[in-house]
Amino acid sequence: MKKYKIAIIGGGPAGMMAAISSAKELKKPKNVILIEKNEYLGKKLLLTGGGRCNITNLKPTKKFLEKLRKEDKIFLKHSLYALDNEKLLSIFEKKGLEFKEEENGRCFPITDDANSILLILKEYLSELNIDILLNNHVKNISKNKNNIFEINKNNENNKNNEINEINEVNNEDSKSRDNNDFIIETNKKTIYAEKVILATGGDSYPQTGSNGEGYNIAANLGHSISQIYPGAIPLKIEDAFLKKLAGISLENISVLYKTKNNQKITSKGNVLITHFGLSGPGILDISNYISKDYNFSKDKNSEKFSHEEIELEDICIYLDMLPNMTEEELNEKIIVDSQNNGKTMVKNYLKYYLRNRFIDFFLNKIGVSGNKTLSNLTKKDKNKIINNIKSFQIKIKSLPEKSAMISCGGANIDEINSKTMESKLKNCKNLFFAGELLESYGPTGGYNLQIAFSTGYLAGTSATK
């Protein structure tokens, strides 16, 4: 059985980039192997950005880091400078693919097709003579016959059989490999490698193969796993009248959520009203905190989330339709406009601040007649309008975990060297991590794909040293 310098487990963005960067550094053909359990690479990648692939965010790296959690700013700094968004895009531009910038720095291929990204990644893999194993589901990882690590701990009969099989392999091949080599057993074959990069993904979109198995691999190798909870989730609401406005996008607003420990979290971005509730960047980012509140309040298995619909109680969010204007400034403007345009009906005046289709719903909800003129608007009604433009309350009914786009939490970053992505654990030398398997995550808008590519790149280059 051939021995590889580096084996990468997981054929998503992080895994493919790790394979490409390591093979470029090694400059030796057939020294890197990429193992994927699906029938093709990049299955989840093709779903990103609604199939368009929001590959990165074009903010400078310093600004990019400011969008991350405090602990992730520190941990991801080295990888994001090692492969920043300019370097990432240049990899694809060298193959003729162009990109375009959309709102808030979101970057997409000019083709609006995620397959354009995948085809180029596969082209690099082919040019670099990287061995690829498809339909190979990793079952066991070990370093020697006395150190077996299993993904599936529940099936004891299989466990005993698999250990015996690996011991036999060890005896047969002990002369041809180093005792510190990794033994990776899939459902089809056994692979030897000096170093392993885990890039198995998180627990979102399990239908793509990203079903949380990587957490078990990491845990069985001795790594601790932080609480796993779903992120970037559309929210379901109770208000039937609001759902009738499906298709309306409230642009560039601010969303406020008060956590259970009374911390005020805000997220800025578009909010899309859907047939079931709310979505869009502003909602998806705030959902991380709602999800965290729910999941951390329950006694749950840290290595999986349920993918069920979670009913919520007394959970509300607040929309600020004019985040760049204070209540005082809005009050003064309405006073001036009432003096100059007193005959204007309220429902027509609000077109300066709200989407047309949203106005009737808004006025009905707060109990103000839209047929009143500005000059006849009472102070009480004026305050209702101002208060609700700046803080419109919406009750959240449920959290559909099956719709989560990312996983929050994962392999504990305190146990991983941020400058190399290698495990710090004594018994896990030559084990590297990349992508969504890590507990780090970012907001929507291209941040998470950039993190996957950057950590994959750093893990790949580091593993060659």
User: Could you tell me the pTM of the whole model?
Assistant: 0.89
Secondary structure in 3-state letters for 120-139 = HHHHHHHHCCCEEECCCCEE
- Is 462 within 8 Å of 21 (Cβ atoms)? no
Please give the CATH architecture assigned to the domain spanning 3-226+409-463: 3-Layer(bba) Sandwich (3.50)
Average the pLDDT over each of 189-203, 220-234, 296-310, 427-441 and give the range with the smallest value: 296-310
Helix-then-strand count for the chain, H and E: 14, 20
**246-267 pLDDT per residue, tens:** 999 999 999 999 999 999 999 9
In this prediction, residue 366 has a pLDDT band, given cuts at 50, 70 and 90, of very high
**What does pLDDT average to over the chain?**
90
In this prediction, residue 207 has a pLDDT band, given cuts at 50, 70 and 90, of confident
The residue whose two tokens read 């709200």 is: 354
**Rounded CA gap, 446 and 379, in Å?**
45
Q: Which residue has the higher pLDDT, 298 or 393?
A: 393
Rounded to an integer, the average pLDDT of 220-230 is: 93
94 pLDDT exceeds 50? yes
Q: Which residue has the higher pLDDT, 378 or 145?
A: 378
Fold of 335-393: Helicase, Ruva Protein; domain 3 (1.10.8)
**Rounded CA gap, 203 and 220, in Å?**
17
155 pLDDT exceeds 80? no
Residue range 232-321+396-403, CATH number: 2.40.30
Rounded to an integer, the average pLDDT of 71-87 is: 98
Check if 3-226+409-463 and 232-321+396-403 are the same fold: no
433 pLDDT exceeds 80? yes
Residue extents of the structural domains in the chain? 3-226+409-463, 232-321+396-403, 335-393
282 pLDDT exceeds 90? yes
- Is 77 within 8 Å of 420 (Cβ atoms)? no
